[in-house]
Amino acid sequence: MKKHFTKLILTIGLLSSFCIAQAQDTTSTSPWTKGGFFRLTFNNTGLSNWAAGGENSIALGAVVNLAAKRETKRSIWDNSLVVDYGLARVGDNDQLFKKTKDQLILTSKYGYKLTENWNISAALNFQTQLQPGYTYKTDSLGQESIDQKISDFFSPAYILPTVGIGYQNKLFSAVLSPIANKITVVLDDSLSQAGAFGVSPGKKVRNELGIDFTFKLKFSPMENVTFDTFLNLFANYETPEFIDVNWTTNLVFKINKYLNASFGTQLLYDNDVLIPQEDGASARAIQFKHVLDIGLLVKF
């Protein structure tokens, strides 16, 4: 538990320092626009002699989101960094803290304007996680323990360079990239030997040449409410019938200057990723999660 919290606090501290550095005002003639936010959520339930039943629980999460955009008459360069991490424990102090969310996403896209809305773009997307992921087992006394490691930092990591044509306006943007190379990296030796995440057993890198499509939409359906969605589709030219899907949505409700609530979802499908099932087997499956948060928000 202390190990998890120490790494979480160090990560938050480093990223918050970076946020402050990025938040410095730019001059009116600067082509750069910078911004971001830091969000912290906490939840705790404590029960004592509770007739209706239930269990104690504690959860902690943090999000750092940074963005920097450079726009000129003929070009636009968008950059963003998102770090999202959370832990939760259900039960008493002898139970384990488990990850509820863990992702690090870095994106950079450069577009050369053909018209006001159309552009030729080159982009790089990088995704990984901060902490190992595990499956768990419970003994006859109800005590939890780690079963096996199923992921780790840079295991996997996804690197996706693309070149394509895009369209954007104030509400949404879409990019179709017929030149895309999905690079899957698995540095952990045990996961590499098992051929996890689609790499060949014993190999640590897999390259897939294919076509990529992204779509982003953001708007305010009403006052103090913001909705955004992001859809990414990738198909390998060797097996175009299998499409990798990453679809996220996020609905944010502003309570006041420092408090807000959000509800987010993420749907993932990758034909090369096998998901552990309850019977101990592994199978291809749609991954889905939803997160409801109420917490402190600081914008830059």
Give this prediction's pTM: 0.85
Q: What is the pLDDT of residues 122-162, one digit of tens each?
A: 999 999 999 999 988 888 777 888 999 999 999 999 999 99
CA–CA distance, 293 with 166 (Å, rounded to integer): 33
C-alpha span between 185 and 30 (Å, rounded):
37
Q: What confidence tens digit (pLDDT) does each residue in 234-256 have?
A: 999 999 999 999 999 999 999 99
3-class state of residue 119 by DSSP:
strand
Delineate the domains of the chain, giving CATH numbers in brackets: 71-79+103-299 (2.40.160)
Q: String of b and e for 237-264 (b: at least 16 CB within 10 Å)? A: eeeeeebbebbbbbbbebeeeeebebeb
Least Cα distance to 134 among 184, 188, 183 occurs for 188
Q: Is the pLDDT of residue 47 over 80?
A: no
Condensed to tens digits (0 to 9), the pLDDT of residues 215-234 reads 999 999 999 999 999 999 99
pLDDT of residue 1: 45
In single-letter form, the type of residue at position 237 comes to Y
CA angle 9, 292, 135 (to 5 degrees): 65
Q: Whose structure tokens read 């982003």?
A: 216
Burial (Cβ within 10 Å: 0-12, 13-18, ≥19) of residue 162 = buried
Q: With 70 as the cut, is the pLDDT of residue 80 above it?
A: yes
CA nearest neighbour of 236 among 279, 291, 198: 198
Distance of alpha carbon 102 from alpha carbon 192, whole angstroms: 21
Rounded to whole angstroms, the Cα distance separating 110 from 208 reads: 22
Distance CA 195, CA 153 (A): 16
